């Protein structure tokens, strides 16, 4: 039997109250990990943590945190360490799509996207690395997109910030390999989510996904569990010789490897 051996591993997931982050938190908890999820809405976050606790019977801690605020990030790490004395895995999952034409992206939009998708990951990595170095092990997983490798028109500022995130991934992987800290990115393609469903014409979600599927070589839009499965693998010792990679999770959509 293929076991991930995640029992009692402490996993911190930003943006863990919904979507891909929540699916990952639930799967990792089912695998025996101790989970910390963060998000901006404290009451809602705790409700989602309770769902996982009831389903998995494992420890789940919810901490309100705005990852664009350095003080909130520091508080998040301090509370996690106070509770669990360790952080084995960091999943930098927070972020929303921001795609527009170059001339329509304001300075504020650029700065907000950089702060949310790049600086938040930088802050979180900087805070967890000392604990991982002390333990001589750790896994950091950064959410990215295929557009960070091969951007389409009208995908700014996200394609630029995600490209920077992929660079950050490789840079940290090289710098901390000697401490057995692995750093990888997941380049997410078209995966079913509330964000997509809000765009459905006349609320016809099936029609939307059918149209999106036509763009994908595998002929289907991905599921949240597809992302969660890859997060779980990269979090585990089953991926112990994998670092510095940016893995496409997109059914073949991205034109580059």
pLDDT in tens, 133-159: 999 999 999 999 999 999 999 999 999
pLDDT for 139 equals 98
pLDDT for 112 equals 97
3-class DSSP state of 51: helix
CATH architecture classification, 10-192+224-249: 3-Layer(aba) Sandwich (3.40)
> Is the model's pTM score more than 0.75?
yes
Q: How far apart, in whole angstroms, are the C-alpha atoms of residue 250 and residue 221?
A: 8
Q: Which phi and psi (to 5°) does residue 62 adopt? A: -110, 135
Q: If pLDDT is split at 50, 70 and 90, which confidence band does 203 have?
A: confident
- 112: Cβ contacts below 8 Å, ≥ 6 apart: 68, 98
Tallying the residues shown for the chain, one arrives at 257
Q: If pLDDT is split at 50, 70 and 90, which confidence band does 14 have?
A: very high
In the chain, which ranges are continuous DSSP H helix?
19-30, 42-56, 70-84, 107-113, 120-135, 158-176, 194-197, 205-213, 224-235
pLDDT for 154 equals 97
Domain borders along the chain are: 10-192+224-249
pLDDT for 2 equals 65
Token output for 4: 């991930």
């Amino acid at each position: 039997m293929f076991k991930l051996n995640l029992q009692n591993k402490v996993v911190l997931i930003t943006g863990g109250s919904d979507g891909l982050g929540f699916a990952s938190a639930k799967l990792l908890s089912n695998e025996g990990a101790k989970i910390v999820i963060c998000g901006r809405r404290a009451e809602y976050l705790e409700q989602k943590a309770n769902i996982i606790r009831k389903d998995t019977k494992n420890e789940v801690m919810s901490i309100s945190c705005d990852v664009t605020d350095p003080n909130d990030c520091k508080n998040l790490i301090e509370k996690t360490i106070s509770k669990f004395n360790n952080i084995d895995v960091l999943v930098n999952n927070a972020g929303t799509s921001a795609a527009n034409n170059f001339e329509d992206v304001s300075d504020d939009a650029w700065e907000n996207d950089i702060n949310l998708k790049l600086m938040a990951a930088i802050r979180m990595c900087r805070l967890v690395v000392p604990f991982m170095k002390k333990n001589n092990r750790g896994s950091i997983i950064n959410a990215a997109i295929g557009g960070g490798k091969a951007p389409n028109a009208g995908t700014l500022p996200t394609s630029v910030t995600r490209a920077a995130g992929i660079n950050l991934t490789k840079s940290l992987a090289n710098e901390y390999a000697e401490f057995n800290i692995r750093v990888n990115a997941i380049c997410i393609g078209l995966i079913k989510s509330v964000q997509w469903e809000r765009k459905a014409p006349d609320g016809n979600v099936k029609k939307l996904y059918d149209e999106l599927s036509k763009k994908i070589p595998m002929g289907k839009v991905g599921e949240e569990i597809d992302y969660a499965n890859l997060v779980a693998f990269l979090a585990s010792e089953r991926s112990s010789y994998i670092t510095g990679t940016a893995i496409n999770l997109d059914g073949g959509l991205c034109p580059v490897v």
